[in-house]
Amino acid sequence: MIRPGDAQLHKPSSTSRSWAETNYWGFHIPGTDYLVTIYALFRTNLGVVQTMVVINSRRAQAVWEGDYWDFQAHVPMGENFDLTNYSLESGLTVRAIEPNRHYEVNFDDHEGTSIEFTFRAGSGLEPADAMVLFRSAAKQIAQRNGYHLTFMCRPRLANVMSSGWHLHQSLKDRKTHANAFMDGREPLSALGMHYMAGLLHHARGAAAFSTPTLNGYKRYRPFSLAPDHAVWGQDNRGVMVRVLGGPGDPATHLENRVGEPAANPYLYMAAQIVAGLDGIARELDPGPCADTPYETAAPFLPKSLEEAVSALRHDACFAHGFGQSFIDYFLHIKQFEIDRYQAEVTDWEQKEYFELF
């Protein structure tokens, strides 16, 4: 047990947040290399007292800042696998790196199965370009160090968790550059509500872009903290779209939790824009906030790529936004992928029927 005392968490720089620390208490978790430290902090730039919890180990440093875990360390795959430094040196604006299940720090059950990278906000094609660079570089760096890194949504591995791609988004006023989703009294502006309604209204058709693989639909499971209905909420990780921020918060934005990491970033983001702008143009209503997202009466997300392809084929919004010729070409490619899968005899079928019949 560490006795209360004074400590310096980190040295503030011109670009970092300024902290002044008072007391800390720490303890070691028996049987592990985890050291938990609870800090009582005073944020000097805001004048707000705040409590911070830090978990240190040889794998990562986890910092709880009130509503999320911010992990600041190398990827836990070996000392030479320095993906973090590469990401920073290559210009990728990484905000946080964390082992998955950041809402429930549990290194034992799912240790080493997945890592979550969070990038700072960007505009235009920048976020899509960053995703292409990151996926390519991450796989190459892993391979050079004797590892295989995959962006497959749900690989067949023991104790593995599904991986998602949560896409955060907002709009800026073209003249003032102010956040168009911020409202002085409400959690989200009227324009933001219309934009979100477009995402929900076209969610089934957009799924072919946000979840373009057959494997990705195995992630949409009830009570899994992955969405299965086209609903929205605020402090609820089971919804499809979360409203983050609040009245007067210039960082107010939407988090769409529907995507998978294997998605084409250009098509995924373009589909969001097309759907959101249609919601604004038609002043669509997103409906009430969902307190019980897995039980709310709302359209289900597609349960298969085939269902998503069918929904896209019948959604005229995307034909208008992307062009009918592109949609026809994309549907042809996806249908061929589905047909190839349907022609295969899977391990499940072999085990289920071969000896039984």
Q: Which residues are CB-contacts of 199 (< 8 A; sequence separation ≥ 6)?
A: 206, 240, 241, 254, 256, 272, 275, 276, 279
Pairing of strands 94-99, 69-71: unpaired
What per-residue confidence (pLDDT) applies to 309? 97
Question: Is residue 79 in some structural domain?
Answer: no
d(CA 254, CA 25): 36
What per-residue confidence (pLDDT) applies to 91? 55
Question: Which among 318, 170, 310 has a CA at the least distance from the CA of 250?
Answer: 170
Task: Print the domain residue range for 196.
Answer: 162-357
DSSP-derived secondary structure letter, 47: T
DSSP-derived secondary structure letter, 240: S
Question: Is residue 260 in some structural domain?
Answer: yes
Q: What is the CATH number of the domain that holds 169?
A: 3.30.590.10
Question: Is residue 55 in some structural domain?
Answer: no
Helix residue spans in the chain (DSSP H): 83-89, 126-144, 190-201, 203-210, 265-282, 305-313, 316-322, 324-342, 347-353
The neighbouring-strand residues paired with 256 are: 167, 241
What per-residue confidence (pLDDT) applies to 324? 97
Q: Identify residue 304 by its one-letter amino acid code.
A: S
Question: Is residue 120 in some structural domain?
Answer: no
Taking a C-beta distance cutoff of 8 angstroms, is the pair 160, 270 a contact? no
Question: Is residue 243 in some structural domain?
Answer: yes
Question: Is residue 192 in some structural domain?
Answer: yes
The structural domain count of the chain equals 1
Blockwise average pLDDT, block size 10, the chain, 357 residues: 31 35 47 49 39 42 42 36 52 54 34 66 86 84 81 83 88 91 93 96 97 92 83 87 92 93 94 96 93 84 96 97 97 97 94 94
Question: Is residue 90 in some structural domain?
Answer: no
pTM above 0.75, yes or no: no
Taking a C-beta distance cutoff of 8 angstroms, is the pair 216, 223 a contact? no
d(CA 172, CA 255): 16
Question: Is residue 210 in some structural domain?
Answer: yes
Token readout for 40 is: 């009582």
